[in-house]
A and B are shown apart, each in its own frame.
Chain A
Amino acid sequence: MIELENVSYTYGGGELLSDVSVQLQPGSFHFLTGPSGAGKTTLLKLCYGALLPTSGRLSVFDQDISALDRDQLAVLRRRVGVVHQDCQFLDHMTLAENVALPLMVSGRGESSGQDNLTELLSWVGLGARLEARPPELSGGERQRAALARAVILSPDVILADEPTGNVDWEMSQRLLHLLVELNRMGKTVLIATHDLSLIRAAKSHVQARVLRISQRKLHLAGADL
């Protein structure tokens, strides 16, 4: 599904990732750990084509990402849901409109998604906040809204970059459960986090592989949790 072969990424003369090789199989669950600045976000951005490898081969859904033009990358991103720690929204639009944004940009009819929108927002606990504007949302609500937006097109892969970074423990557990639930639906999940307690908490719910980035290299951190 996502395969990196000897991928390196250099920016401004400095190598941020070196010779990274890993495969994310369909339906698998992964944690990506490492200290701040280790390159977790860079690796995630490579996985959805926001950055392109300096060398090596990165294929997503059997497509060489370096060979795709911008519009092809955009289409590919519709199959990859992304949740960032500092999730960004369009502040002049309502929560419902923000979550429905992927439907709009992909040209899918309102009817096909609108029915699911309310259900989806209820699933992440925001059913009563449809008309709220993003600035009115708390950190946890924003994260859940970002997750809803990431999955509204039913992507095959979900990439979450420090999704629990700005929320309390209870909310981080709730988000984790949502991601585990998505994995049970067959989605491939990759969560970048430096929060080891989150990884430990996931142990009882999911078979996850833990990858660790240190000194620009990717390592398997240990046995399955």
Chain B
Amino acid sequence: MTGADIRNLLRGDTRADRVVPPTGYTAHLTLFVAGAMAFLAVFALALSLAAGRIADRWASELAGAATLRINAPAEQLAAQTEAALTVLSQTPGVSSARALSADEQAALLAPWFGPDLPLDTLPIPQLIEIIEGEPGLDALGLRLRLGAEVPGAVLDDHTRWREPLVDAAMSLRRLGWISILLIGGATAAMITLAANASLAANAQIIEVLRLVGAQDGFIAGAFVRRFTYRAFFGASVGTLLGMTGVLLLPEASDAGGFLTGVGFQGKDWVLPVLIPVLGAAVAFVATWAAARRKLKELS
């Protein structure tokens, strides 16, 4: 099919479109399927985008930092901390490094042990916060050097628990996109069935059109336009309802965690608007293929 064919098909011809009777259950089926699938696609898209945002946030927030823990007897703790800071100051890829104060460490433990923890009486390791810079931290090299110079140092570059989280978020994003593809495929299949049923039900009309010299493009076009516009209208309604549903979801918040972040943000709101267009495109291709196949069968 050439671009000119597509333009001619979409340009429409109200008189030509009248050759296909406007009623029939396939009309309702197409509208319903397009609407329902668009509704689902909006949520799949929202889920996918939210998962992507979370993956990006987790990756960026955790990738730029590392923690060094000094486990040493109390009398060596200060010296090893000092040695570690010296090593870190000479290490490429470390933008800054600082030892957390006693109050900061107590604040970190407070959620588990309460605010009255007698930190100075407990053998709490010293934590050093490392902020990465260019060209990036060589964790393996740093560990080897720390192992030689600061025996009580344990470097945690967050990789161990960052990767599964990011992987999980990325998987969720992939699932969202796969869902959208499946929704598109199911829509195409349903519209193909509806188009086939409509073509079969209108076999006599096709026969008359052929008798008077109609070419396949004319006959197929009448059906294709009908199904494309129906799919567009149904998908528009479904998308509108879906977007309203997403709008009514709770705003993202720390207290709500992941579940409250499902939705569209900023420019993301443009993407669901494309769903009716894609739905119409799916209907266009599915009906065109079905019509050409059916017309070949009927010849």
Q: Is A124 an interface residue (CB 8 A)?
A: no
Considering the chains assembled together, what is the distance between the CA atoms of A113 and B232 in angstroms? 34
B213 touches A93 (CB 8 A): no
6 CB < 8 A contacts A-B: A70-B216, A74-B216, A82-B211, A92-B22, A101-B212, A105-B214
Report A-chain residues with C-beta under 8 Å of the C-beta of B214.
74, 105
Report A-chain residues with C-beta under 8 Å of the C-beta of B18.
92-93, 97
Q: Is B90 an interface residue (CB 8 A)?
A: no
Quick one: which of A70-93 are within 8 Å of B by CB? 70-71, 74-75, 77-78, 82, 84, 88-90, 92-93
B212 touches A71 (CB 8 A): no
Give B159 Cβ to nearest chain A Cβ, in Å. 63
The stretch that binds A, out of B97-105, B127-135, B202-210, B274-282, is B202-210
A71 touches B215 (CB 8 A): yes
Q: Mark B3-18, 1 if CB is under 8 A from A, else 0.
A: 0000000000001101
Q: Is A149 an interface residue (CB 8 A)?
A: yes
Q: Is A16 an interface residue (CB 8 A)?
A: no
Most buried by A among B19, B214, B215, B217: B215
Q: Is A104 an interface residue (CB 8 A)?
A: yes
Report A-chain residues with C-beta under 8 Å of the C-beta of B296.
70
Partner of A74, one of B204, B205, B208, B213: B213
Q: Is B299 an interface residue (CB 8 A)?
A: yes
**Given A88-B204, A90-B205, are A149 and B299 neighbors across the interface (CB < 8 Å)?**
no
Q: Mark A115-155, 1 if CB is under 8 A from B, else 0.
A: 00000000000000000000000000000000001000100
Considering the chains assembled together, what is the distance between the CA atoms of A149 and B213 in angstroms? 11
Q: Is B218 an interface residue (CB 8 A)?
A: yes
Considering the chains assembled together, what is the distance between the CA atoms of A161 and B297 in angstroms? 25
Q: Is A207 an interface residue (CB 8 A)?
A: no
Report B-chain residues with C-beta under 8 Å of the C-beta of A84.
211
B213 touches A77 (CB 8 A): yes
A77 touches B204 (CB 8 A): no
Q: Is B123 an interface residue (CB 8 A)?
A: no
B208 touches A89 (CB 8 A): yes
Partner of B213, one of A78, A88, A97: A78
Report A-chain residues with C-beta under 8 Å of the C-beta of B204.
88
Partner of A77, one of B16, B212, B295: B212
Give A180 Cβ to nearest chain B Cβ, in Å. 23
- Which residue of A has the minimal Cβ distance to B202? A90
Interface size bucket, B side?
20 to 34
Report B-chain residues with C-beta under 8 Å of the C-beta of A34.
none
A75 touches B213 (CB 8 A): yes
Partner of A70, one of B15, B19, B211, B299: B299
Q: Is B111 an interface residue (CB 8 A)?
A: no
Report B-chain residues with C-beta under 8 Å of the C-beta of A78.
212-213
A77 touches B211 (CB 8 A): yes
Q: Is A106 an interface residue (CB 8 A)?
A: yes
Q: Is A53 an interface residue (CB 8 A)?
A: no
Report A-chain residues with C-beta under 8 Å of the C-beta of B295.
70
Considering the chains assembled together, what is the distance between the CA atoms of A104 and B213 in angstroms? 10
Report B-chain residues with C-beta under 8 Å of the C-beta of A163.
none
A153 touches B213 (CB 8 A): yes
Give B292 Cβ to nearest chain A Cβ, in Å. 10
B217 touches A88 (CB 8 A): no
Considering the chains assembled together, what is the distance between the CA atoms of A102 and B213 in angstroms? 7
Most buried by A among B205, B213, B299: B213
- Which residue of B has the minimal Cβ distance to A98? B208
Most buried by A among B205, B210, B212: B212
A88 touches B208 (CB 8 A): yes
Report A-chain residues with C-beta under 8 Å of the C-beta of B212.
77-78, 101-102, 105, 149
Considering the chains assembled together, what is the distance between the CA atoms of A11 and B211 in angstroms? 21
Partner of B19, one of A50, A90, A153: A90
Q: Is B257 an interface residue (CB 8 A)?
A: no
A93 touches B211 (CB 8 A): no
B299 touches A105 (CB 8 A): no
B213 touches A90 (CB 8 A): no
Q: Is B21 an interface residue (CB 8 A)?
A: yes
Considering the chains assembled together, what is the distance between the CA atoms of A16 and B3 in angstroms? 44
Report B-chain residues with C-beta under 8 Å of the C-beta of A93.
18-19
- Which residue of A has the minimal Cβ distance to B209? A105
Considering the chains assembled together, what is the distance between the CA atoms of A70 and B213 in angstroms? 10
Give A127 Cβ to nearest chain B Cβ, in Å. 21
Report A-chain residues with C-beta under 8 Å of the C-beta of B210.
50, 74, 77
